[in-house]
Structure 1
Amino acid sequence: MLAVAFPWICRCRVRSYCLRAIMVDAMNDEQSGEWRSAEPLGRLAVLSYGAGHMLNDITSACWFTYLLLFLTDLGLSARDAAIVMLTGQVADAFTTIFAGELIDRFGHFKLWHAGGSVLVAISFSSVFGGCLPCEIMGSDSSVLQTIGYSLFAAIFNIGWAVTQVSHMSMVNCITLNPTSRVALASCRNAYSMVANLSLYAVALAVFSIYNAQAYAAIKLEYRWIAYLSILMGCCFVLLFLIGTKEPELKYKSLCENIPKVSWNYWFKKVLYYQVALVYILIRLITNVSQALLAFFVINDLDMPQSSKALVPAIIYISSFIISVILQEMSWTGSRLKTFFTIGAILWIFSGSGILFLPSTLRDIMYLLSITIGIANALMMVTGISMQSILVGKDLNGCGFVYGSLSFLDKLSCGLALYALESYQDSNHMVRSFAVSSGFSITRYGLGFIPAACALLSAVVIFTMDLEETRSNNLTEPLLV
């Protein structure tokens, strides 16, 4: 009888202990007025988290800046090059949905992050390497090259998506402090600027050394850029894995069997659609401008080859400085909306300047690069922080939120770039008009599209109802 009753007695004691612990915790929460998890983060926690996206950022910078240029230099048409990029974007988009769902169910952010990073490191060199199917089949036809590069582009973007979703959704599970969440997003953006600057420094050095014209030399210089990018990115991924703990808030929700937040819950929130639209527009601004920038400064403004690296470098230096400054501020919903609107206005100004900038005044592009960098940082940091406000304390749905928004982002950017490249490649009448008028598809794409997206996003921001939660600054400011 005792043997039968003993398990029941143990369970009762466990339940009683858990109930007492929950009551004590509740009393402590009532006395303190806030969760212990809402305390501000320290400097090392923020810095180590930010390092986790460096590999993704540096490979992404290379992807959007040089992929189309690389493929067209190899002899592919603009449309075939756009197909390669679109294939990668579509693979990325669908992977984010599945990755977000699995992370919500099982957690283990760092494990997903490490697996995605390994896949990125292995596959990225092949994107800018040789065409494996071409070597196997012994043919260099454009169809086979398109298939070969598309295959590795898809593999690379699958790993990229897993790493991105796991890293971004960690923010809400690391801390409940609103200002610390903005600091994490801002630090991540600052590291992104470091990654881009590192890429352009490497690219500038490689382009200066090789100055390649032949097919084999072009492949070699881009392969060196890819190898060095992977090496630098992996070093920072190791720093992240060593310095960042697996978020305790996620484990707490899983251990307590808190039910997973359903998709319908998010679809019923107006703020979800507002944040989704703003995020899509931000990504269209940054990705489209990054992909077309090298073409614009070389073909439209007739600037020297070094400008392919120098102009983007100025953009990212400006973004880095602003991102670091934003980490030192305390944040409210209205302040997020204000700074985002300032960034949107700066992009509208920059886009208008690009549309009407003549090649005789090409040096003004360096000044416009500064305003573009400031605008990108303001919009990206505040826009991503609005995702944290959307998620709030619904930690068992954060993976879906970041995954679904990334799905929309990748699909829209891929289709936009494909349309621009295909239109430029096929419409001879438009190209003839562009030559005579000075208004190319690249100029329209770089000037009008980001400016229009910035204007629309500012309108959406104005309609948002963000929670006015105040919180303390970081326990250790990053600027001393």
Structure 2
Amino acid sequence: MGHVLNDLCASMWFTYALVFYTAVIGISHSMAGVLMIVGQVADAISTPIIGTLSDRGSTKLTKAKVGKRKSWYIVGTVLVVCAKPFMFSPCFPCKNSMDGIKVLYYSAFIIVFQIGWAAVQTIHLAMVADLTSNEKERTFLLSLRNTMTAFCNSATYIGQLILIIIFAKPSERVSESDIISFQVLIGMIVTVGLATSVIFLIMVPEDPTRFRSHSLESSSHSMESGSHASSVHQSPVKILARFMLHYIGLIYLNVRLFVVAVQALLTLYLHESLKAYAYELATVPLVLNITTFVVSLLTGVVNELFGRKTTFMFGTISGLAACVWTYFGEGELYAHGLIYVVATFYGSACALLQITALALIAEYIGEDINNGAFIYGYMSFLDKISTGVTLALILNFHNVGCDRYFTCSVVWCCGCSSVLATILLCALKTPVEPIFIHTEQSKDRSKGSFSDTRLVKDSIKIQPSHKS
């Protein structure tokens, strides 16, 4: 519920932004790539900063009344709601200007939106670690989160399909005349997303005394036993010094490359390689996300039965099957029929890979909830930079005369990223040992002071290559 606004907006951003800016606004592919990387970099920079500030709390007033997480959640929601409508509206001051002016105009709203989106995403993920330390429960919560993402994506595509039927001829290709359908859809997204965010704020209260109470209980126990273990804030430098953080980040980076390539490039593949009709830009992603929705419900169970590596392998096999079919698929039957079957393979892969990768991150965080938001922020930083640069390069080298350009882009981007992520995961010894920051405190009653702390080195356990 708390991530519905983000999910709906992300669906529009990744699935329709490139088509909107190129086919509706008339910006070149290379300049559309600039808009994409501007947004991704803004998100990448703001995410770890917000995560760090959230872990350390905001002002005393907001912490007391709202909570250290939700104060940032509210700020992010306001920024998203204010900026999103302008991103999918015509540039009235620069309608007849050159592409560079249009890019500057849209970039301003994209940056504001991405900062807000990053705040909501980071806080929502961090609250999963805050709510429970049980790995099965965390995987279940992440599975529900991914299920809701798929549901929101599907709702976006259904809305787009209905609006295309109302405002345009479904058999036509997307053009400047479709701008009204984009604007109406954005209005619906912002309204529904804002309502669900308010419900989340009311229904899932953050108790700012929860961590303090836990600390007091631990302190009370330590006075009897002489020592205790608790999670403490660490500087970003110390957190970033851990090799395992970057290793898991590389796995997550490749998973996100796969998912974003499917979301962002599939519609361009449909529009430019398959010459799909306008309605197919809604129905094919809809089938993909219905599949993701269904598979997401089962991923937690599959993880529990077969383990993370096997579940991840299932996702990779599904993704590679989709890539092979995409590369060799041709003809009217494929373009308007079998492409829906291919979409189910992509959808299954997205669910299995992403939920497993997020569960791996949650497993690594363990009970270190005081640094969880920064860790998620760092993962998002890797995600945004890598996907932004990749999409910008693909769009920059777009060959107008090559109908198969986006076919190859989807295939190679998805195929290489899924294979690399699988190799990295297979080389990793699981379950991953979480970060444990143990604090020993002993009170010197004669001097009235405390002696503090030692950090237990987080393990780096990589299997030898002959065992992987």
TM-score, with structure 1 as normaliser: 0.79
Q: 1:75 aligns with which of 23, 26, 29?
A: 26
2:295 corresponding residue in structure 1: 322
Contiguous gaps of at least 5 residues in structure 2: 58-66, 220-229, 434-468
Distance 1:239 1:252 in 2: 27
Distance 2:124 2:186 in 1: 22
The one-letter amino acid of 1:462's match is C
1:159 corresponding residue in structure 2: 116
Q: 1:147 aligns with which of 104, 107, 111?
A: 104
Distance 1:370 1:300 in 2: 19
Asked if residue 399 in structure 1 is aligned to residue 373 in structure 2, the reply is yes
Q: 2:195 aligns with which of 235, 241, 246?
A: 235
Contiguous gaps of at least 5 residues in structure 1: 1-50, 470-480
Asked if residue 218 in structure 1 is aligned to residue 182 in structure 2, the reply is no
Can you list the C-alpha shifts for 1:28-63, whole angstroms capped at 9, x where unaligned? xxxxxxxxxxxxxxxxxxxxxxx1111101100100
Asked if residue 96 in structure 1 is aligned to residue 47 in structure 2, the reply is yes
Deviates more, 1:218-227 or 1:448-457: 218-227
**Contact 2:360–2:432 (Cα < 8 Å) also in 1:** no
The one-letter amino acid of 1:337's match is K
Q: Alignment RMSD, CA only? A: 2.3
Distance 1:91 1:303 in 2: 32
Distance 2:78 2:257 in 1: 27
Asked if residue 201 in structure 1 is aligned to residue 164 in structure 2, the reply is no
1:282 corresponding residue in structure 2: 255
1:45 corresponding residue in structure 2: none
Q: Are the structure 2 counterparts of residues 468 and 423 from structure 1 closer, same or farther at C-alpha, using a change threshold of 3 Å? A: closer
**Contact 2:315–2:352 (Cα < 8 Å) also in 1:** yes
Distance 1:413 1:112 in 2: 25
Asked if residue 456 in structure 1 is aligned to residue 420 in structure 2, the reply is yes
**Contact 1:344–1:379 (Cα < 8 Å) also in 2:** yes
Distance 1:172 1:244 in 2: 14
**Contact 2:174–2:278 (Cα < 8 Å) also in 1:** no
Counterparts of 1:63-462 in structure 2, within 5 Å, are 63-73=13-23, 74-106=25-57, 108-131=68-91, 134=94, 140-211=97-168, 217-246=177-206, 250-252=211-213, 259-328=232-301, 331=304, 335-360=307-332, 361-362=334-335, 363-424=337-398, 427=399, 431-432=400-401, 434-435=402-403, 440-462=404-426
Q: Are the structure 2 counterparts of residues 61 and 456 from structure 1 closer, same or farther at C-alpha, using a change threshold of 3 Å? A: same
Distance 1:222 1:85 in 2: 18
Distance 1:214 1:392 in 2: 47
The one-letter amino acid of 1:313's match is L
Can you list the C-alpha shifts for 1:406-444, whole angstroms capped at 9, x where unaligned? 0111111111111111100xx5xxx54x34xxxx22111
Q: Are the structure 2 counterparts of residues 226 and 451 from structure 1 closer, same or farther at C-alpha, using a change threshold of 3 Å? A: same
Deviates more, 1:404-413 or 1:238-247: 238-247
**Contact 2:231–2:367 (Cα < 8 Å) also in 1:** no
Measured after TM superposition, the shift of residue 390 of structure 1 is: 1.0
**Contact 1:322–1:374 (Cα < 8 Å) also in 2:** yes
Measured after TM superposition, the shift of residue 216 of structure 1 is: 6.8
Measured after TM superposition, the shift of residue 270 of structure 1 is: 3.5
Distance 2:149 2:174 in 1: 32
Measured after TM superposition, the shift of residue 219 of structure 1 is: 2.9
Measured after TM superposition, the shift of residue 330 of structure 1 is: 7.2
Measured after TM superposition, the shift of residue 304 of structure 1 is: 2.6
Distance 1:305 1:224 in 2: 16
Measured after TM superposition, the shift of residue 288 of structure 1 is: 1.6
Distance 2:321 2:212 in 1: 46
Q: Are the structure 2 counterparts of residues 273 and 252 from structure 1 closer, same or farther at C-alpha, using a change threshold of 3 Å? A: farther
1:466 corresponding residue in structure 2: 430
Pick the structure with more helix per residue. 1
Q: Are the structure 2 counterparts of residues 468 and 95 from structure 1 closer, same or farther at C-alpha, using a change threshold of 3 Å? A: closer
Measured after TM superposition, the shift of residue 268 of structure 1 is: 4.0
Asked if residue 62 in structure 1 is aligned to residue 12 in structure 2, the reply is yes
Q: Are the structure 2 counterparts of residues 422 and 316 from structure 1 closer, same or farther at C-alpha, using a change threshold of 3 Å? A: same
Measured after TM superposition, the shift of residue 204 of structure 1 is: 0.5
Report how many residues are paired.
405
**Contact 1:64–1:287 (Cα < 8 Å) also in 2:** yes
**Contact 1:187–1:327 (Cα < 8 Å) also in 2:** no
Measured after TM superposition, the shift of residue 348 of structure 1 is: 1.1
Can you list the C-alpha shifts for 1:207-240, whole angstroms capped at 9, x where unaligned? 1211289987433221111111111222222232
Distance 1:118 1:239 in 2: 15
The one-letter amino acid of 1:92's match is D
The one-letter amino acid of 1:315's match is L
Measured after TM superposition, the shift of residue 329 of structure 1 is: 6.3
Distance 1:198 1:230 in 2: 13
Measured after TM superposition, the shift of residue 319 of structure 1 is: 0.9
Measured after TM superposition, the shift of residue 166 of structure 1 is: 0.6
TM-score, with structure 2 as normaliser: 0.81
Distance 2:174 2:316 in 1: 42
Measured after TM superposition, the shift of residue 322 of structure 1 is: 1.3
Can you list the C-alpha shifts for 1:331-368, whole angstroms capped at 9, x where unaligned? 38x71221112101111111111111113332221111
Measured after TM superposition, the shift of residue 371 of structure 1 is: 1.2
